[in-house]
Amino acid sequence: MQGPNVTTIVLQARYPRLLVGHLNIVTSPHTWTTVLDAQAGNPAANPARILTGAAA
Protein backbone atom coordinates (compact mmCIF):
# COMPACT_ATOMS: atom_id res chain seq x y z
CA MET A 1 0.00 0.00 0.00
CA GLN A 2 1.03 3.56 -0.54
CA GLY A 3 -0.27 6.79 0.84
CA PRO A 4 0.40 9.59 3.31
CA ASN A 5 -0.83 7.58 6.30
CA VAL A 6 0.67 4.20 5.35
CA THR A 7 3.76 2.57 6.82
CA THR A 8 5.03 -0.61 5.23
CA ILE A 9 6.80 -2.98 7.60
CA VAL A 10 8.50 -5.99 6.06
CA LEU A 11 8.50 -8.74 8.67
CA GLN A 12 11.20 -10.67 6.81
CA ALA A 13 13.54 -7.70 7.15
CA ARG A 14 12.82 -7.39 10.86
CA TYR A 15 12.87 -11.15 11.55
CA PRO A 16 14.99 -12.80 8.83
CA ARG A 17 14.70 -16.29 10.39
CA LEU A 18 10.92 -16.13 10.73
CA LEU A 19 9.38 -18.94 8.71
CA VAL A 20 5.65 -18.26 8.39
CA GLY A 21 3.30 -18.46 5.46
CA HIS A 22 0.15 -16.62 4.47
CA LEU A 23 -2.07 -18.72 6.72
CA ASN A 24 -0.08 -18.75 9.94
CA ILE A 25 1.31 -15.21 9.83
CA VAL A 26 -1.79 -13.98 11.70
CA THR A 27 -0.99 -16.25 14.65
CA SER A 28 2.70 -15.35 14.83
CA PRO A 29 3.71 -13.51 18.01
CA HIS A 30 6.27 -11.62 15.90
CA THR A 31 3.46 -10.26 13.72
CA TRP A 32 1.34 -9.13 16.65
CA THR A 33 4.29 -7.57 18.46
CA THR A 34 5.15 -5.57 15.34
CA VAL A 35 1.54 -4.46 14.76
CA LEU A 36 0.92 -3.46 18.37
CA ASP A 37 4.24 -1.61 18.59
CA ALA A 38 3.37 0.32 15.43
CA GLN A 39 -0.05 1.24 16.82
CA ALA A 40 1.40 2.27 20.16
CA GLY A 41 3.72 4.67 18.35
CA ASN A 42 0.83 6.23 16.41
CA PRO A 43 -2.14 7.27 18.56
CA ALA A 44 -4.25 7.92 15.45
CA ALA A 45 -4.00 4.19 14.62
CA ASN A 46 -5.12 3.05 18.06
CA PRO A 47 -8.26 0.91 17.65
CA ALA A 48 -9.49 1.82 21.15
CA ARG A 49 -9.63 5.48 20.12
CA ILE A 50 -11.56 4.61 16.99
CA LEU A 51 -14.04 2.36 18.80
CA THR A 52 -14.74 4.86 21.59
CA GLY A 53 -14.80 7.90 19.31
CA ALA A 54 -12.21 9.69 21.43
CA ALA A 55 -10.59 12.75 19.90
CA ALA A 56 -7.07 12.47 18.56
Per-residue 3-state assignment (H helix, E strand, C coil) for 3-19: CCCCCCCCHHHHCCCCC
pLDDT digits (tens, 9 = 90+) for 16-54: 998 888 889 889 999 999 988 888 877 777 666 655 555
Give dist(CA 38, CA 30) in Å, integer. 12
pTM score: 0.62
Give dist(CA 47, CA 56) in Å, integer. 12
